[in-house]
Chain A
Amino acid sequence: MSNSTNSGPYNYTYIFKYIIIGDMGVGKSCLLHQFTEKKFMADCPHTIGVEFGTRIIEVSGQKIKLQIWDTAGQERFRAVTRSYYRGAAGALMVYDITRRSTYNHLSSWLTDARSLTHPNTVIYLIGNKGDLEAQRDVSYEEAKQFADENGLLFLEASAKTGQNVEEAFLETAKKIYQNILDGSLDLNAAETGVQPKQPMPKPVSNEAKPSDSQCSC
């Protein structure tokens, strides 16, 4: 495998699209902000429709650009936010560990996510506000069991302290990348949420090696 064709800071091999979903006020925007800016926004206004953020990360030596759509939890935006589910490679589904109602709504968020995204979309469950241990309303074990039963990756995190925020975004990318490598995510299929930066070579030959298709001219 050649790995030196992309060297500049803005070069990347793939674009992965993510969505962040969950009830209003669970901290979706704060998680995104912590991930892209490494800062906590103490009081941010609720999101209008959708917000957008990007960051370039590295997975197994490959630079990957994450395009992240942070959706509003408020019901009246549902028509708009739903249109962003299509074509997401990763979905971060967030609840607030101090508010049980946000946890109870997860099954409806999951139904939405499953019905509107690609079958291979990686869904990551995040229990946010992990710093507020004293106000905990949902136990780790209970959420972990829900995640296992539904085949979701799961972590508790805190947008405030930054704990596990990187991990959630990066592990989602790793899982997507793994799906590409093992062929379970077909890059030629529509709306996978993964976009090779250079157009994929048309599958003329099944055995085209990556080095053959990378024109260095």
Chain B
Amino acid sequence: MLEEYISDADLKKARENYGTTENPNETQQFEFALNLIRSKHRAEIEEGLYLFQNVFARTKDENIKRDTLYYMAIGQTKLSNYEQALKFLQSILNVQPTNEQVRDLYVEVNKKMKRDGLIGLGIVGSAAAVGLVGIIGLGAALLSKK
């Protein structure tokens, strides 16, 4: 997922599509946010993170909440906000400790963080990350209320 990208043309199409959707429901929001996260461009990834934040706040579906946290982790990783990404993943693991897909991503992000740290590129805590801090606590709380 970290190396899978959407083409600018496909994203443009998705944006036009989304733009003409009146009152998008949470699935439609989720789908568009997912397309944004797959972009190569920072601004679009940030836009996707913001939209996921909306989905997370409005949905009552536990699965969608979990999937949203997972993709926010991917988005944050792409922006090199590794600590933030790990927090999202950890909040899923608190509820589903054996989820292999999430564990694998956790390990991968951790590796990336160490590698980037070593070559001095670690950027932790950007503006985008700060806005989401509140969400994690919320996420952990909501997910564990099962």
Q: Which residues of A contact B (CB under 8 A)?
A: 44-51, 74-80, 83
Contacts and interface: CB of A to CB of B under 8 A. Distances in A.
A47 B34 CA distance: 15
B14 interface: yes
B31 A45 contact: no
B96 A45 contact: yes
Contacts of A45: 96, 99, 101
Contacts of A78: 31
A80 B4 contact: yes
B30 to A, nearest CB: 5
13 contacts: A44-B100, A48-B70, A48-B102, A49-B1, A50-B1, A74-B63, A75-B27, A76-B30, A76-B64, A76-B67, A79-B31, A80-B1, A80-B34
B38 A80 contact: yes
Q: Which of A50, A74, A79 has the most CB of B within 10 A?
A: A79
Contacts of B4: 80, 83
A1 to B, nearest CB: 35
B18 to A, nearest CB: 11
A40 to B, nearest CB: 14
B34 A79 contact: yes
B78 interface: no
A46 B63 contact: yes
B35 A79 contact: yes
7 smallest A-B Cβ distances: which pairs? A48-B70, A76-B27, A45-B99, A76-B30, A48-B67, A51-B101, A76-B31
B6 interface: yes
Nearest to A83: B4
Q: Which of A45, A46, A78 has the most CB of B within 10 A?
A: A45
A50 B102 CA distance: 12
Interface of B: 1, 4, 6, 14, 27, 30-31, 34-35, 38, 63-64, 66-67, 70-71, 96, 99-102
Contacts of A48: 66-67, 70-71, 101-102
A47 B101 contact: yes
B4 to A, nearest CB: 7
Contacts of B64: 76
A28 to B, nearest CB: 13
Q: Which of A48, A49, A50 has the most CB of B within 10 A?
A: A48
Contacts of A77: 34
Contacts of B70: 48-49
A76 B6 CA distance: 16
Contacts of B31: 76, 78-79
A83 B67 contact: no
B143 to A, nearest CB: 12
A80 B48 CA distance: 14
Given A45-B96, A51-B101, A76-B64, 11 more contacts: A44-B100, A45-B101, A47-B101, A48-B66, A48-B70, A49-B67, A49-B70, A76-B31, A79-B35, A80-B38, A83-B4
Contacts of B14: 79
Contacts of B1: 49-50, 80
